[in-house]
Structures are given as C-alpha cells and as structure tokens.
Amino acid sequence: MSDTPSPRRSGYARLLDRATRVLAMRDHSEQELRKKLVATFPGQKEEPPAAEDIEKVIATCLEQHWLDDARFARQFIASRARKGYGSRRVRQELQQKGVARELCDAAMAECETDWTQIAWDQATKKYGEPLPTEFAQKAKVQRFLLYRGFLMEDIQEIYRNFAD
C-alpha cells in the first residue's frame, strides 16, 4: 500500500453520483433534486456543494432526460390517484414540490383519471355501501372527501350518479 492518500473525486462527480442514486429510486421534480443535492447530513465533514456544481449536475440531468418535471407530474398524479387522493390535493402537492402551474394544468388535463369514481371508492371504503343519505352522515362523508382533496362537484356527483 502506498502512503499517499487517494485523490478525492471532484465535487461535481460526487454530486452527479448522488443525483443518479436519487433519480434511480423514483422521479423527482427539479426543486426536490436541488434540495437533496444541497442537503448536508449531521456529522458530515465536507463543506456544502458549490452552487455552480449543482447547476452543472441539474443541467446534465436535464440533458440526459433523467430529470423531467412533466414526466414527474404525470407519474405523481397517477400515484396519488391510486392512493385515493383528489385532484385539488394532488395539484397542491405538485406545486409544493416545485412543479410549475402550467405543467400541473397540462398533466391534470392529460391524465385520464375519473376523480368521481375514486371519490366513490374512497367513500364506500370508509362508510360502506350504500352511502348515508341523512344530512349529518352525508356531511361527514363530504368532509372526509374534501379532506382527501376532492372537488365539491365530484362529491355531489357521487350522490347524483350513484344514488339508489
């Protein structure tokens, strides 16, 4: 073994490795990836990464099509819809993750999700079938679905279309 320490990799190379590991797990928005690249961990001895290295890594990921906010938005919408969340909540979460409003609107318009059916599934899963029709119980169902992020139009449609 030699007495000389091994040369350290450049900050850019380490950041690119971190970005590829993060993006290999799942798609991320550009803002999410930036936060993860900037994050330092407790006990980490190295200084924070340089801003120009982060910009180069983001540019590389965009060039290689590893990072795509539109693709992320489409996959995120499908994922959250499968978990039973409504369009309002999904849109809000996308904007919190840094996806532009235009991309959110385009992805929501492009998705073929039946939000009314998802609302029906969630309501019957929680409250059973048939859904309650008395005012107090109906209000409870509505509050639950509003909390899950469904629009009032979708909730009203449940009682119109799926009434006995």
Name the pLDDT band for 23 (thresholds 50, 70, 90): very high
- Per-residue confidence (pLDDT) for residue 137, from 0 to 100: 92
- Per-residue confidence (pLDDT) for residue 1, from 0 to 100: 45
Q: In terms of DSSP H, where are the helices of the chain?
A: 11-25, 30-38, 51-63, 69-82, 87-96, 101-110, 115-127, 135-147, 152-161
> What is the rounded distance in angstroms from the CA atom of residue 148 to the CA atom of residue 115?
11
In the chain, the percentage of residues whose pLDDT exceeds 90 is: 69
What is the arithmetic mean of pLDDT over 70-99?
Answer: 95
Give the other-Cβ count within 10 Å of 138's Cβ: 15
Left if phi > 0, otherwise alpha if psi is -120 to 50, otherwise beta: which for 150?
beta
pLDDT digits (tens, 9 = 90+) for 111-134: 999 999 999 999 999 999 888 888
Residue 94: name the closest of 82, 83, 114, 78 by CA.
78
Q: Which domains does the chain have, with CATH numbers?
A: 11-63 (1.10.10.10), 69-110 (1.10.10), 115-161 (1.10.10.10)
